[in-house]
Structure 1
Amino acid sequence: MATRTIAGKTVAVNEEGFMTNPAEWTQEIAVEIAKEEGIEELTEAHWKVINFCREVGAASGKAPTLRTITNGAGITTKEMFTLFPKGPAKKVAHIAGLGKPEGCV
């Protein structure tokens, strides 16, 4: 298993760069990954989605799909694409320290 240092912390990642142990995640890591993904600042709306995804991930062991996020977090698909452009479910899973959602390429 590969490792990577993000925000001063060494974490386990898979071949695509997704964290493999959600317990290693911190908010500081989320901020760094978001910047890598082209999101300069995480707003309250971003954190609402990130925290929802982490809750779902902790309960199910998997990153939620876009439909699960929009239904559960009370956010529209359009808002998701505004917050997390170009592949929002995959991008938020990466930022939230979860694996790649099923069905994402």
Structure 2
Amino acid sequence: MCKKNILNKKGYLKNYKEWNKKIAKKIAKIENIKLNKNHWKIIYIIRNFHKKFKRTPSMLIIHRILKKEKNKINLNKLFKNKFLKISTKISGIPRTNICI
């Protein structure tokens, strides 16, 4: 499991700059998610959006990005109907202020 000192009590990475694939896999394991190529696609969309705009992308924004790429991914199915909560944890970005 992840070292307790790198995750806060809600399971989010304390310092998003410490994120790496190994940490993402460990957080996914805690959330009972087996990562596949679609998960990684979403994780990198979220991380790139956050890096550029300093905020968490909404589900609508991610759908628009996927639509531009002609990619159909069921986000809720992929992240167990807790899309924003689980995807942001695994992506290592700070907890969003969006109600999740």
Superposition TM-score, scaled by structure 1 size: 0.77
Where does residue 49 of structure 2 map in the other structure? 56
Deviation at 1:36, TM superposition (A): 0.9
Deviation at 1:86, TM superposition (A): 2.4
Where does residue 15 of structure 2 map in the other structure? 21
Deviation at 1:9, TM superposition (A): 9.1
Contact preservation (8 Å) 1:20, 1:99: yes
1:92 maps onto 2:87 in alignment: yes
Partners of 2:9 and 2:44 in 1: how far apart? 24
For structure 1, which segment, 65-74 or 29-38, has the greater mean C-alpha deviation from structure 2 after superposition? 65-74
Q: CA 1:98–1:52 in 2, change beyond 3 Å: closer, same or farther?
A: same
Identity %: 28
Secondary structure, counterpart of 1:33 in structure 2: helix
Deviation at 1:16, TM superposition (A): 2.2
Q: Which has the higher strand share?
A: 1
Q: What amino acid maps onto 2:75 in structure 1?
A: M
Q: CA RMSD of the aligned region, Å? A: 2.2
Contact preservation (8 Å) 1:52, 1:69: yes
| Relative contact order higher in (CA < 8 Å, ≥ 6 apart) | 2
Contact preservation (8 Å) 1:90, 1:104: no
Superposition TM-score, scaled by structure 2 size: 0.80
Partners of 1:81 and 1:32 in 2: how far apart? 20
Gaps of 5+ in 1: none
Contact preservation (8 Å) 1:64, 1:101: no
Partners of 1:43 and 1:64 in 2: how far apart? 21
Q: What amino acid maps onto 1:89 in structure 2?
A: L
Q: What amino acid maps onto 1:58 in structure 2?
A: K
